[in-house]
């Protein structure tokens, strides 16, 4: 769908991928509603700002009104043993329950209008389940399955569903997850690359996007040869 003039809601819009996505959509003529829980950091982002903690997303659709595009980007992570995971319920609520609740709230108007796009920002972690990120990976894996099923449900309505799976992105995510990113490879890439991929996917109605693209090979290997993938993961981490 064309972004020029489209009303787009972007969650997690105060920083990282969300902030870059607001800029990318606005640059293509979209009218962007920016949502985040930090009002100070959200100031001046997008055409309109909505302060909300998505651990409790009730009422967002009433406050925002109908949108043409919903970008479910908000989320956070945790790296460490499951037994030591803090705020497990909040992690699931923000990363998985909130995108489903927002889709449920905004989709009826999209379907009635015969046009719209839901964009769910997952992670390569949801495809491969990296060690030390069990809960985070589970939330993103759930979002992947939700996107696939929802796409079938909406077929023929004029409303599309795009699943975006970023790899390692240079944002504050790793500062907040309890463990810094310490790998030499793959190297983190700028959030603007993900934002441009999101904008392109909306305008070209793409079902699934990996950023960077080669990450799709990792996901395909995990699906096609899980035994080989596990052996490689055990050896190389």
- HEC secondary structure over the chain: CCCCCCEEEEECCCCHHHHHHHHHHHHCCCEEEEEECCHHHHCCCCCEEEECCCCCCCCHHHHHCCCCEEEECCCCCCCCCHHHCCCHHHHHHHHHHHHHHHHHHHHHHHHHHCCEEEEEECCCHHHHCCCCCHHHHHHHHHHHHHHHHHHHHCCCCCEEEEEEEECCECCCHHHHCCCCCCCCCCCCECHHHHHHHHHHHHHHCCCEEEECCCHHHHHHHHHHCHHHHHHHHHHHC
Between CA 127 and CA 137 the distance in angstroms is 8
The single residue of 127, 136, 152, 181 carrying the catalytic annotation is 136
Q: Is 152 a catalytic residue?
A: no
Q: Beta-carbon neighbour count of residue 112 at 10 Å?
A: 12
* Residue 160 near residue 107 (C-beta atoms within 8 A): no
Query: Which residues participate in catalysis according to the annotation?
Result: 136
């Amino acid at each position: 769908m064309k972004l020029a003039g489209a009303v787009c809601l972007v969650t997690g819009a105060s920083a990282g991928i969300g902030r870059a996505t607001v800029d990318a959509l606005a640059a293509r003529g979209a009218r962007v509603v920016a949502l985040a829980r930090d009002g100070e950091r959200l100031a001046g982002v997008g055409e309109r700002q909505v302060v909300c903690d998505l651990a409790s997303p009730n009422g967002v659709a009433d406050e925002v009104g109908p949108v043409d595009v919903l970008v479910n980007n908000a989320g956070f992570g945790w790296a460490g043993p499951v037994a030591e995971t803090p705020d497990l319920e909040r992690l699931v609520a923000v990363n998985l329950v909130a995108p489903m609740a927002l889709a449920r709230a905004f989709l009826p108007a999209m379907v009635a209008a015969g046009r719209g796009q839901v964009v769910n920002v997952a992670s390569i972690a949801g495809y491969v389940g990296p060690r030390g990120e069990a809960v985070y990976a589970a939330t993103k894996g759930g979002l992947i399955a939700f996107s696939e099923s929802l796409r079938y449900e909406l077929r023929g309505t004029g409303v599309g569903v795009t699943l975006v799976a970023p790899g390692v992105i240079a944002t504050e995510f790793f500062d907040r997850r309890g463990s810094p990113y310490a790998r030499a490879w793959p190297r983190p890439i700028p959030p603007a690359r993900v934002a441009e991929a999101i904008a392109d996917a909306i305008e070209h109605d793409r079902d699934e996007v990996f950023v960077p693209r080669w990450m799709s090979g990792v996901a395909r290997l995990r699906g096609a040869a899980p035994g080989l993938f596990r052996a490689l993961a055990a050896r190389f981490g």
